[in-house]
Amino acid sequence: MIGAVEAGGTKFVCAVGDASGQLLSEERFPTTDPQTTLAAMVASLRRQSAATGPLSAIGVGSFGPVELDRTSPHYGYIVRTPKPGWAMTDLAGTLAREFGCPIGFDTDVNAAAIAEHRWGAARDVADLVYVTVGTGIGGGVVLGGKPLHGLLHPEIGHIFPRRHPLDTEFKGTCPFHGDCLEGLAAGPAILARSGASLDRLPDGHPQWEIQADYLGQMCQALVLIVSPRRIIMGGGVMNQTRLLPMIHARLQHWLQGYIDRQDLLGPAGSFIVAPGLGAQAGVLGALALGVAAGGY
């Protein structure tokens, strides 16, 4: 049995599953302060594993930024976050002390990217980006089947797209950057600019065009910098799947045919896709990290 923790900024999902990607049980609870939330996480995994059998490894996909450098004294921590109280929270260490088993640890979006590669919409390609557009914008990168870390890990949400001609006045909602991508195109930005979430705005409302353009610019930067074979786009805002072909069209606009690959130039639907695992990508990503940590 493998434990899985999807540590999100608004909710935690704790689950137990097996190495084939089958979840046997799952619990979820809101993210409050670190003490309460970590205690609930430990209790949840204990309760579930009492029913399913002892855990031989646990995987954690966490909101961040997180520390992924194994030589750092803060490995496995959420190191810095605008979320009050959560900076320097030791997630992986807490689980290791409580359960005494190997812990896999990565960003929530790297975890989702791994799960989509292992069990979802990117089983046939080893180079992919998983992007979530919800209360924030984050991206996980898998290259050659392995998650990209480097100095820290990707933080794709904070690049700066060019401002859309229909959106020159809005100041953006990112507390760090104002009008970075997250500040222009995450859920709170849509609400602040247009007064409603995307699903409540009619076809033809400028928000649709603005949204597709900013995310298309993001895809262009991803294509030119990490050269993925597929981009998977999930999160609450992307539940509006009619955005996908609109983003594809804006990617073409910004690339201007420069990357001569049928994967990119062909019809919409194969390069920029919805998650194969739907809303389960996060928790299955955590499970995949646990599977890898356990050596299965």
How would DSSP label each residue in 217-242? HHHHHHHHHT--SEEEEESTGGG-TT
* Nearer to its own copies among residue 144 and residue 267 (C-beta): 144
Cα–Cα distance measured from residue 261 to residue 277, given in angstroms and rounded to the nearest whole number: 27
- Which one of 35-43, 158-166, 239-247, 281-289 is the stretch in contact with its own copies (CB under 8 A)? 158-166
Query: Using the rule CB under 8 A, is 16 a contact of its own copies?
Result: no
With beta carbons less than 8 A apart as the criterion, state whether 290 and 24 touch: no
Q: Does 171 engage in binding with its own copies (CB under 8 A)?
A: no
- Helix pair 34-52, 91-99: axis angle to 10 deg: 40
- Identify which of residues 20 and 227 has a Cβ nearer to its own copies in the complex: 227
150 binds its own copies (CB under 8 A): yes
Which residue in the set 9, 59, 140, 228 belongs to the binding site for its own copies (CB under 8 A)?
228
Question: How does DSSP assign 129-146, residue by residue?
Answer: EEEEESSSEEEEEEETTE
Nearer to its own copies, 141 or 284 (CB): 141
Tokens linked to 123: 């089983």
Q: Which stretch binds its own copies (CB under 8 A): 14-22, 152-160, 188-196, 284-292?
A: 152-160
User: The tokens of 16 are what?
Assistant: 């137990």
Alpha carbon dihedral 163, 165, 169, 175, in 10-degree steps, equals: -20
Tokens of 100: 């005494």
Distance CA 202, CA 207 (A): 9
Looking at 14-22, 89-97, 98-106, 156-164, which segment touches its own copies (CB under 8 A)?
156-164
268 binds its own copies (CB under 8 A): no
For its own copies, the closer of residues 12 and 271 by Cβ is: 271
Q: Where are the beta strands (DSSP E) in 149-283?
A: 230-234, 272-273
For 55, the token pair is 């855990």
Q: Does 130 bind its own copies (CB under 8 A)?
A: no
Amino acid at 185: A
Tell me how far apart the alpha carbons of residues 270 and 10 are, in angstroms, rounded to a whole number: 31
Task: In angstroms, give the least distance from the CB of 16 to its own copies.
Answer: 32
Q: Contact between 250 and its own copies (CB under 8 A)?
A: no
Is position 79 an interface residue for its own copies (rule: CB under 8 A)?
yes
Q: Which is nearer to its own copies, 150 or 295 (CB)?
A: 150
For residue 46, state whether it binds its own copies (rule: CB under 8 A). Answer: no
Residue of 46, 83, 149, 205 that binds its own copies (CB under 8 A) = 149
Using CB under 8 A, pick the residue from 184, 189, 215, 223 that binds its own copies.
Answer: 223
The Cα 50–Cα 46 span in angstroms is 6
Q: Site residues (CB under 8 A) for its own copies?
A: 65, 79-80, 127, 139, 141, 143-144, 146, 148-163, 176-177, 217, 220-229, 254-261, 263-264
